[in-house]
Every structure is written in structure tokens, then in C-alpha cells.
A and B are shown apart, each in its own frame.
Chain A
Amino acid sequence: DTEVTQTPKHLVMGMTNKKSLKCEQHMGHRAMYWYKQKAKKPPELMFVYSYEKLSINESVPSRFSPECPNSSLLNLHLHALQPEDSALYLCASSQDPTSEQTDTQYFGPGTRLTVL
């Protein structure tokens, strides 16, 4: 089973709203990722969590706030977003970040975010 689930599938929010995106995996993976993908563009890495600790922040604005409550869950809290933040937000996970061999990242279906 290589399933990563994401909720909601679609989200429309105003610039003053606070919302959260949720990602879940039950594969026992210990690394989880947030990516942003604009239409017809490749995914851009935002954050990486390894063993529930933030490992990488790709200079993402503070209006995006990640959280990893446990090894299966990853949240992305959104506040005061801009219309240009509208995109598909993808979650991914991989097995063991301490492995000598690169892990394969498995992607969820994404949340389509529209900021009005």
C-alpha cells in the first residue's frame, strides 16, 4: 500500500481566513513533505519533516506554517494568504530518511487551493 491521503480536496479561502490542510499516511514512513505545484509546472518543495522534526524549510513565507503532530500526520496551517498562493498543494512521504539509499517519495492527490 503506497497511499498518501489529503484533505480537503478543494479549498477556497479569503485573504483573512485561517485554514489547515491535512495529510496522512499509514505506511510507517518517517519523512513527510509539502510541495506547491502551479498548473503545468513541476512541484516545488516547501517543507520536509524527518522523524516528526522540521528538517528543511525552503524559505517559505511565514503565512504557511507546517506541523507534524505524529509520524502519520502532517498539517499545513494557512493564514493571511495571497491570491498568488493559489495552487495544488501536494503532500508526499518516504520510508526512512536515515537510510543510505535514497527513498522513493510517494505523493498524495493534493489539495486544490484558491485564495480570493
Chain B
Amino acid sequence: AQSVSQHNHHVILSEAASLELGCNYSYGGTVNLFWYVQYPGQHLQLLLKYFSGDPLVKGIKGFEAEFIKSKFSFNLRKPSVQWSDTAEYFCAVNPSGNDYKLSFGAGTTVTVRA
């Protein structure tokens, strides 16, 4: 079955550490890719997105993600995290031509310790 996989269920790290969250998908063909973040008690916010062009995309709050087509991956990175980055992170994929349907990964809980 087509799916979106986030490999890390829970990541715990200290402030200033680097963060990388994995996301892989199994859809063939063209896809559109998103990372959303959900801070505690807050709504889903778009961190960044990739539709086409430069596979390295930069988002808000110092996050970036790299689309590697050959690996069906769209990993999220941040060089130096802050306590305020504690949140739930969701990768989402929309296969081109599938109109509205966003398929979400299971999510990764990131806890940053001060």
C-alpha cells in the first residue's frame, strides 16, 4: 500500500544539537511534499513545502528539507535546535493528480531539553 513513513517516533535532544527527521514515501511518479509542525496546544502550521525546482527547500524558523527523488525521501533538518522547537512534526505527501488528499506520516515527537 502507498504510504508515508516517519522513522523516528520520539526524538529527545539538547538545545543547540542538530536535528534530522526522516520521511520516506512509497508513491510513484510526481509528488508534492510538506512538513507541518504542531506545537503543544497549537494548530498545525506549515514549515515548508516542495513542489518542484531546487530540491533543497528552506522553511520557517531555520528549518530546511531535502528532496532526494532516488531515495523517495524528504528529510527535515535544523542545524541547532531550541527549546521552543519542542513539538510534533508531520511529513505529508500529495501524489500529483490526487487532487486534495494529503497523506500524513505518523508523526515524530521532538523534545528539546534546555
**Contact between A42 and B45, CB atoms less than 8 A apart:** no
Residue of B with least CB distance to A42: B104
**Contact between B51 and A97, CB atoms less than 8 A apart:** no
**Contact between A41 and B106, CB atoms less than 8 A apart:** yes
Task: Report the interface size class on chain A.
Answer: 20 to 34
**Contact between B100 and A31, CB atoms less than 8 A apart:** yes
Residue of A with least CB distance to B30: A102
**Contact between B99 and A109, CB atoms less than 8 A apart:** no
Nearest Cβ distance between residue B25 and chain A, in whole angstroms? 13
Nearest Cβ distance between residue B62 and chain A, in whole angstroms? 20
Residues 1-58 of A at the B interface (beta carbon under 8 Å): 31, 33, 40-43, 45, 48, 50, 55-56
**Contact between A104 and B46, CB atoms less than 8 A apart:** yes
Chain A residues whose C-beta falls within 8 Å of the C-beta of B107 in the assembled complex: 40-42
**Contact between A107 and B45, CB atoms less than 8 A apart:** yes
The verdict on A50 contacting B100 (CB below 8 Å), with A42-B105, A42-B107, A109-B43 known, is yes
Docked Cα-Cα span, A66 to B104, in Å, equals 22
Residue of A with least CB distance to B42: A109
Chain B residues whose C-beta falls within 8 Å of the C-beta of A48 in the assembled complex: 100
Tell me whether A101 is interfacial, beta carbon within 8 Å. Answer: yes
**Contact between A56 and B49, CB atoms less than 8 A apart:** no
**Contact between B44 and A90, CB atoms less than 8 A apart:** yes
**Contact between A107 and B51, CB atoms less than 8 A apart:** no
Nearest Cβ distance between residue B20 and chain A, in whole angstroms? 20
Interface residues of A (CB under 8 A from B): 31, 33, 40-43, 45, 48, 50, 55-56, 90, 94, 97, 101-102, 104-110
- 10 A–B contacts from the bound complex (CB under 8 Å): A40-B109, A41-B107, A42-B107, A48-B100, A94-B100, A97-B99, A101-B51, A104-B46, A107-B44, A107-B45
Q: Which 4 A-B pairs have the closest CB atoms?
A: A42-B104, A109-B43, A107-B44, A102-B32
Interface residues of B (CB under 8 A from A): 32, 34, 36, 42-46, 49, 51, 88, 90, 92, 94, 96, 99-102, 104-107, 109
